[in-house]
Amino acid sequence: MLGTFQQSNLRIELNASAQTIKESLLYPEKLRQWMFPQQISQGLPNQLQQGSTFTSWTGVIPIKHEVTMVNDSAMRLRLSESVDGYHEWCWDDGWVQSRLEGISILPLNLAQTGTLLRLRQFVEQASN
């Protein structure tokens, strides 16, 4: 894999319940809404579960995701193709944390920041 090793841990506060955050991260229908302009492959179950796989694209750049762990307050994804590494999500009432580690030529911290800001906007609108 070409690129450099990158890691980033971000945690933000948001005005939403743990349940709203969980649904926004684990339900592909909601995931597609707030991750735009990233596109997510079709054919997923109603809720992501361990073993679920999908591909996301930003333009023509693919990232394959495999859910390796999921519970009521966390999810871990193994990443491959344009990013070789993992992405962990943890959440509870009022906050979400994203931990991203991998090798890529993509600016992972910038993408992660944008993703968290889109998630915050989505869940806060859903909570109102």
Question: Domain of 94: which CATH number?
Answer: 3.30.530.20
The dihedral sign for the CA sequence 46, 50, 55, 61: positive
Percentage of residues in the chain having pLDDT higher than 90: 84
Q: What number is the average pLDDT over the span 79-85?
A: 95
pLDDT exceeds cutoff 70 at 106: yes
Is a pLDDT exceeding 90 seen at residue 38?
Answer: no
2-6, 66-70, 74-78, 92-96: range with lowest mean pLDDT: 2-6
**Residue (of 98, 111, 105) closest to 82 by Cα position:** 105
Asked if residue 1 has pLDDT above 90, the reply is no
pLDDT at 128 over 80: no
53 within some domain: no
Q: If you average pLDDT over every residue of the chain, what do you get?
A: 94
* Residue 33 domain flag: yes
pLDDT at 126 over 90: no
Residue 98 lies in a domain: yes
Q: How far is CA 16 from CA 28, 61, 94, 122, 127, in A?
A: 19, 31, 5, 10, 6
Residue 20 counted as domain residue: yes
> What are 75's two structure tokens?
């999810």
> Domain range for residue 64?
4-46+58-127
Tally of domains in the chain = 1
Whether 52 is covered by a domain: the verdict is: no
41 pLDDT higher than 80: yes
